[in-house]
Structure 1
Amino acid sequence: MSQDQNTSTPHDSRRLHWAGVVCGLCAGVWLGAAEAPTKLVNAGLSPFAVSLCMVSGVFAARWTLPTLLKGTSQVAGDLMRKKYLIIWALLAGMMWAVANTLTVFAIRDVGLTIAFPLWNTNSLIGLLWGRLLFGELKKASPANIARVVIGTVAIVAAATLLGFSTMHGGSSPSPHAVQGILAALGASLLWGTMYIPYRKAYISGMNPLSFVTAFTFGELGTVFALVWFLDGGAKAPIFHTVGLEHLLFWLFLGGFVWVIGDIFQQFATKYLGIGRGIPLSNTNQLWGLAWGALVFGELANASATQRIMVIAGSLIMIGGAIAISTAVATQREHNSMQDMLQRECDRYNLDIREVVRDYSRPEFDSSGKRSIGDYAIVATATAVFLYLGLKARVPQIAFSSQWVVVLVVVMLASVGAGIFALRKLSNS
């Protein structure tokens, strides 16, 4: 849980923990669905082009959703009160952009079903940084330490099992399995490290909706640079491909879906910490498996051994994530994290009372007035999606429409639960 919670009652701590858990699980559902459009990489687009299109959708969504929920004036106020966090937000966006590009390579080379569990080892990286930099698990109870150790071992074992499953003698092994595995693990390293800026922002009291707004410039600038320097510069195919409009909608949609999941993931990180929040959101591995296997039939031609290895590795990894996430912080651990909060306040000359007050403010403030600029942002983003949607065509990729409907219903139900949890927390 958060280090700020030792100033609250046990009832408050339980409410914050419950909200964090719901947000983490909701994040898993949406983050799992967001990577499905990257299957379009098999339709002839380069991984750099796919990433740029997705991040463009991310950019539109990261501005639109905070504007709807808070308004740009409140977002700007949050950023101006803590200007030093803007640099951290840009850095986090840069790491996100590179990691996202690596995931596209991984999906191309080893498939969505295999790539997801491998890059979800970012929970190990996040757990390490949470312990070293933010005092998470310091002075934790023996039971909590045991859960974290067992969960960590389970996640590493599952990642290894899933990695070897791609090289097993199945019917159509990938010729670039090693390359795909390395790309997924590289994404894991970057995404695990990316949570350092996240956590610094939230222990300083910044609202996640404000942080992700600054985050967008780092990610869009970085992915554009990747296309420019590694995919042909001004001659890059993404800038000259004729008839690309019918694919852009799906990639923009993938970016939009990712943002919804990422916002809930950030709320989970705020209320549970890195070591507990990331494993919960990493249940996206289960949903990535569902999209890859059920919708796109990635296991249709796999051998029985491959299927057993993939399913067993997935279940082991989820079990490890659950073990870590259920290690609820004790009062002694809260006190240790409070020391880290005081250190951050001393480092950046912050008033700890103001930080605690900012932390307890409602996440959504619908009472604030919306400016003409706010409505213009929402209208522009909506117009872009409508324009692309009118030109979209169903990609020529085999998929199960029935399973798409089932998984979309689950997505809508989960986001409803997440919004309910945050609203209830804000109104209590």
Structure 2
Amino acid sequence: MASVVQKATRHGMSLHGLGVICGLTAGVWLGAAEAPTKLVNAGLSPFAVSLCMVAGVFTARWTFPTLLKGTSYVFADLMEKKHLIVWALLAGALWAVANTLTVFAIRDVGLAIAFPLWNANSLIGLFWGRVLFKELAGASPANIGKVVLGGVAIVIAAIMLGFSTLHGDTTMAQHAGRGILAAIGASFMWGTMYVPYRKAYISGMNPLSFVTAFTVGELGTVFALTLALDGGLHSPSFNLFHHHGLVFWLFLGGFVWVIGDLFQQFAAKYLGIGRGIPLSNTNQLWGLAWGALVFGELAGADSRHRLLVLGGSVIMILGALAIGTAVASAREHTSQNEAVLRECERYGLDYNRTLASQAGDEFGDRSERRRWWDYAIVSAATGVFLWLGVRAVVPPLNMNLMWIGVLGVLLFVSLVIGGWSLWRRTKFC
């Protein structure tokens, strides 16, 4: 069987290059997904925001895998690796807790401070990747330096960009400690969540299959958190679903987040969590763009804050460039294949088929035929968004509509580039 590197060359695009494209595309979409959570500043409960966003995530997550591969494909993949279903549910639970903590953090210290704090998850993911999956084992000192320093640079840049939006606002000082702890907790939750990601992908599971089980864990956990901590069945969070004009925007945030996360999943598959997650965490740059250009967070900023924006942006770009050029050597690929072999021996998987799946090559006789219920799922999900959309009202926030249009176009362009690259190279495998 040809090696992973040989397969990549044969298809005309390296897996490393594909992973970099996916990671950067994820950053564009994940940065945009946090904008709707600013509705928490309009007086909504953090549990309500989280529950509605996750409901949107749930709806979108079932739509994309069904649309791209069909449920027959997805469930056949899940049944081949039943042990990974538990890991996917665990990852979903970790995500749900982290997402709820981020909403608390945004409420108490604002998006500008909370965002860079929870984006430190990339360093936690880098640690777990090295300890549990031997990522960077066999890498050259130059590549290790690029990945580690690039990841650190992205976190430092995120902090600089976050503080660039602080200029004299002391209204949240009362609960600053609580908000910072919430953001740090989210960072640890998300950093650990990448462990199930990597475990699934070195076992050959398709990201589209993984997220299907993942979403059950996240929706169930958010629902349980709301029942346990926000008033049970009488929680005001459930009343928010009657406010269709606001619910649409939170569902839309979940929809945008799903697209970003799918690209993040593919980046983690083809680059590993040590490289893929820091690249997707360039979302801070795009989050700042939405905050500054759409919501006016830099209005009235002095030269010192503008210098933070410029410096943070440059450092983040350099960090992403360092990681993007850290192409794995043959020795590192050998170490990765040994990690795959350990998983195969532990769970009785076919080693050659698993390696083929890691190269983006489909294997087996898995059908992608669409069934009638596939069309019903897509139609129902589309109907939910349309029903909420026609009842939507403009949120009670000051927004620049021109910049919403510009950033929306950039979202679409990144989706076309990332989606076309994945389809051309792997057919979304």
Shift, 1:367, TM fit: 7.9
Does residue 288 (structure 1) correspond to residue 287 (structure 2)? The answer is: yes
Contact in 1 for aligned 2:157/2:316 (Cα 8 Å) = yes
Q: 2:208 corresponds to which residue?
A: 209
Matched AA of 1:425: R
| Aligned equivalents of 1:21, 1:160: Cα separation in 2 | 23
Shift, 1:379, TM fit: 1.2
Does residue 358 (structure 1) correspond to residue 357 (structure 2)? The answer is: yes
Contact in 1 for aligned 2:29/2:411 (Cα 8 Å) = yes
Flag the 1:157–1:420 CA change in 2: closer, same or farther, 3 A.
closer
Trace 1:153-164 onto structure 2 (pairs within 5 A).
153-158=152-157, 161=160
Matched AA of 2:262: I
Shift, 1:369, TM fit: 2.1
Give SS of 1:63's match.
Answer: helix
Contact in 1 for aligned 2:46/2:103 (Cα 8 Å) = yes
Q: CA-to-partner distance for each residue in 1:50-106, whole Å, 9 max, x for gaps?
A: 000000000000001100000001000000000000000000000111111111122
Trace 1:28-427 onto structure 2 (pairs within 5 A).
28-158=27-157, 161=160, 170-172=168-170, 174-175=172-173, 176-241=175-240, 244-309=243-308, 311-359=310-358, 360-362=360-362, 368-426=368-426
Matched AA of 1:380: A
Q: 1:24 corresponds to which residue?
A: 23
Q: CA-to-partner distance for each residue in 1:281-320, whole Å, 9 max, x for gaps?
A: 1111111010111101112244543443455345434433
Structure 1 unaligned segments of length 5 or more: list them: none
Flag the 1:189–1:12 CA change in 2: closer, same or farther, 3 A.
farther
Matched AA of 1:386: L
Flag the 1:367–1:419 CA change in 2: closer, same or farther, 3 A.
farther
Q: CA-to-partner distance for each residue in 1:211-265, whole Å, 9 max, x for gaps?
A: 1000011000011111111111112112235851110000001101100111111
Contact in 2 for aligned 1:171/1:303 (Cα 8 Å) = no
Contact in 2 for aligned 1:277/1:325 (Cα 8 Å) = no
Matched AA of 1:417: I
| Aligned equivalents of 1:86, 1:250: Cα separation in 2 | 30
| Aligned equivalents of 1:242, 1:275: Cα separation in 2 | 39
| Aligned equivalents of 1:118, 1:301: Cα separation in 2 | 24
| Aligned equivalents of 1:131, 1:45: Cα separation in 2 | 40
TM-score (norm 1): 0.92
| Aligned equivalents of 2:370, 2:241: Cα separation in 1 | 39
| Aligned equivalents of 2:273, 2:415: Cα separation in 1 | 21
Q: How much identity, in percent, do the aligned residues show?
A: 65
Give SS of 1:240's match.
Answer: helix
| Aligned equivalents of 2:12, 2:132: Cα separation in 1 | 22
Shift, 1:154, TM fit: 2.6
Relative to structure 2, which stretch is displaced further, 5-14 or 391-400? 5-14
Shift, 1:271, TM fit: 0.8
TM-score (norm 2): 0.92
Shift, 1:115, TM fit: 2.4
| Aligned equivalents of 1:26, 1:156: Cα separation in 2 | 18
Matched AA of 1:383: G
| Aligned equivalents of 1:410, 1:169: Cα separation in 2 | 28
| Aligned equivalents of 1:88, 1:406: Cα separation in 2 | 39
Give SS of 2:361's match.
Answer: coil
Give SS of 2:138's match.
Answer: coil
Flag the 1:317–1:189 CA change in 2: closer, same or farther, 3 A.
farther
RMSD, matched Cα: 2.5
Matched AA of 2:395: P
Q: CA-to-partner distance for each residue in 1:131-182, whole Å, 9 max, x for gaps?
A: 111111111112112213322443454456567778x772545313333222
Q: CA-to-partner distance for each residue in 1:322-352, whole Å, 9 max, x for gaps?
A: 3234211111111111111111111112120
Matched AA of 2:253: G
Matched AA of 2:291: G
| Aligned equivalents of 2:229, 2:128: Cα separation in 1 | 31
| Aligned equivalents of 2:33, 2:366: Cα separation in 1 | 27
| Aligned equivalents of 1:157, 1:88: Cα separation in 2 | 31
| Aligned equivalents of 2:305, 2:84: Cα separation in 1 | 45
| Aligned equivalents of 1:240, 1:160: Cα separation in 2 | 36
Q: CA-to-partner distance for each residue in 1:13-55, whole Å, 9 max, x for gaps?
A: 9521121111111111111111111111112211111000000
| Aligned equivalents of 1:383, 1:149: Cα separation in 2 | 45
Contact in 2 for aligned 1:102/1:183 (Cα 8 Å) = yes
Shift, 1:382, TM fit: 1.2
Matched AA of 2:112: T
Flag the 1:180–1:323 CA change in 2: closer, same or farther, 3 A.
farther
